[in-house]
Amino acid sequence: MFPVNINNIVVLQREEHLEEIRQYNIARRRMRDGSNPFDLRTDIFKKSFRLNKEMARYVYNSVAENIDTTDNIVAVPPILKFFATLHFYATGSYQYSLGQNFNLSLSQPVASRAIHTVTNAIEERLGHLWVKFPTTVADKMEIKGRFMEATGFPGILGAIDCTHVAILAPNEEEHNYLNRKNFHSKNVQLICDYDLRILNVNAQFPGATHDAFIWRNSFVKQHLERSYNQGDHNTWLIGDSGYPLQPWLMTPFHNPAINTPEGRFNDIHARARNCIERCNGVLKSRFRCLLRERVLRYSPEKVGKIVNACSILHNICIAANLELDENIVNEEEINNERFQNDAQDNIFRQGEATRRRIVNNYFRNN
């Protein structure tokens, strides 16, 4: 048993240590409250958060009420949770440069919790406003007209492709996330218009899932099939040869001769489809947390939410014509897989007839 005086010393030292921690946390809070990310120089602000100041105010005002608040004197203010999350999206890192001292006082666990809260808020408050697949006649005609004007290919409602977002190997069903490129990922389906606006994002599936399976189980496929059965025979997406040919999804011909109607169809099809490859590149270059080299260290469900939030912010940037002042990263590999259509399948035969009609009406002559 310790002498009384030793016990008193131990207790006193513990109390002093706790008081030091309390004072440190108060000082850290004052440092956070005394800084304002909006005071950053415009170019540094954009580089740090990928949005301009006006866009950031709009997004923050839209989601602020969904971000946790507390009277705790050492709690992180909601606005700094917001900017910590934007910075993570932009860089994929919890580390901050010296010029960003507003964030130096956030520990990694605090930043991680902020990312979770703010990501949910962006998805819940802004998702239905900024990522919308066109369903009205007017919206469809606008998108199809833009593709036609730019490429000469009729009826296109969007271009579709999948991209892999790297994650840590999950504890459950790990094998389902190991993709054919031999890293763990979510396989994310994106559909975009000609101007790189994301019309639909599906981040539910693990990396080993084939692109065609994701498409087959998507609400967009069901919507387009239903529209076709109701009489809309002049609307389709375009995808590469890894997708099935369907009357609402046009894929290229297999090895057509050069300068034939089928060859010209393929050339224009590839030119129109290039927008989805550029969209993937711009999205990942703008929000570098999605790059393969970053590897998101969250559960697959949280990774899907981060992808959704980044897609929403991407569309806000596109709407504001905000240029990306960096080289676009292209980490996508050419998909050499070819979907083997069943020649006896009625949907495939209808797709063949639709593709042949397009060739005859638009690509028969030079």
Q: Which of 128, 151, 171 is the last residue of a domain?
A: 128
Residues 87 and 167 in one domain: no
Both tokens of 130, joined, read 């900024």
Cα–Cα distance for residue pair 225/221, rounded to 1 Å: 6
- pLDDT tens track, the chain, 366 positions: 545 566 565 556 666 655 554 544 444 444 444 468 888 889 989 999 999 999 999 999 999 999 976 645 446 889 989 999 999 999 998 655 434 545 445 778 888 899 999 999 999 999 999 999 999 999 999 999 999 999 999 999 999 999 999 999 999 999 999 999 999 999 999 999 999 999 999 999 999 999 999 999 999 999 999 999 999 999 999 999 999 999 999 999 999 999 999 999 999 999 999 999 999 999 999 999 999 999 999 999 999 999 999 999 999 999 999 988 878 887 766 566 788 898 789 999 999 999 999 999 999 875
* Domain coverage including residue 123: 4-128
Does 353 share its domain with 294?
yes
Residues 6+ apart with CB under 8 A from 195: 146, 275, 318
**Residue 80 and residue 31 share a domain:** yes
What is the structure's pLDDT at 325?
Answer: 81
Q: What is the 3-state secondary structure (H, E, C) of the chain?
A: CCCHHHHHHHHHHHHHHHHHHHHHHHHHHHHHHCCCHHHCCHHHHHHHHCCCHHHHHHHHHHHHHHCCCCCCCCCCCHHHHHHHHHHHHHHCCCCCCCCCCCCCCCCHHHHHHHHHHHHHHHHHHHHHHHCCCCCCHHHHHHHHHHHHHHHCCCCEEEEEEEEEEEECCCCCCHHHHECCCCCEEEEEEEEECCCCCEEEEEEEEECCCCHHHHHHCCHHHHHHHHHHHCCCCCCEEECCCCCCCECCEECCCCCCCCCCHHHHHHHHHHHHHHHHHHHHHHHHHHCHHHCCCCCECCCHHHHHHHHHHHHHHHHHHHHCCCCCCCCCCCCCCCCCCCCCCCCCCHHHHHHHHHHHHHHHHHHCCC
**pLDDT, position 348:** 95
User: Does residue 269 share a domain with residue 148?
Assistant: yes
**Are 211 and 312 in a shared domain?**
yes
Q: Give the pair of three-digit tokens for residue 53.
A: 């100041």
92 and 146 in a single domain? The answer is no
Count up the domains in the chain and report the number.
Answer: 2
> Both 123 and 183 in a single domain?
no
Choose one of 111, 128, 145: the last residue of a domain.
128
Of 64, 97, 128, the one marking the end of a domain is 128
Same domain, 66 and 158: no
- Mark whether 112 and 152 lie in a shared domain: no
pTM above 0.85, yes or no: yes
Instruction: Please give the pLDDT value at position 15.
Output: 66
Quote the pLDDT of residue 69: 65
Claim to verify: residue 248 and residue 349 sit in the same structural domain: yes
Judgement on whether residues 115 and 147 belong to the same structural domain of the protein: no
Q: Which of 73, 92, 86 is nearest to 32 (CA)?
A: 73
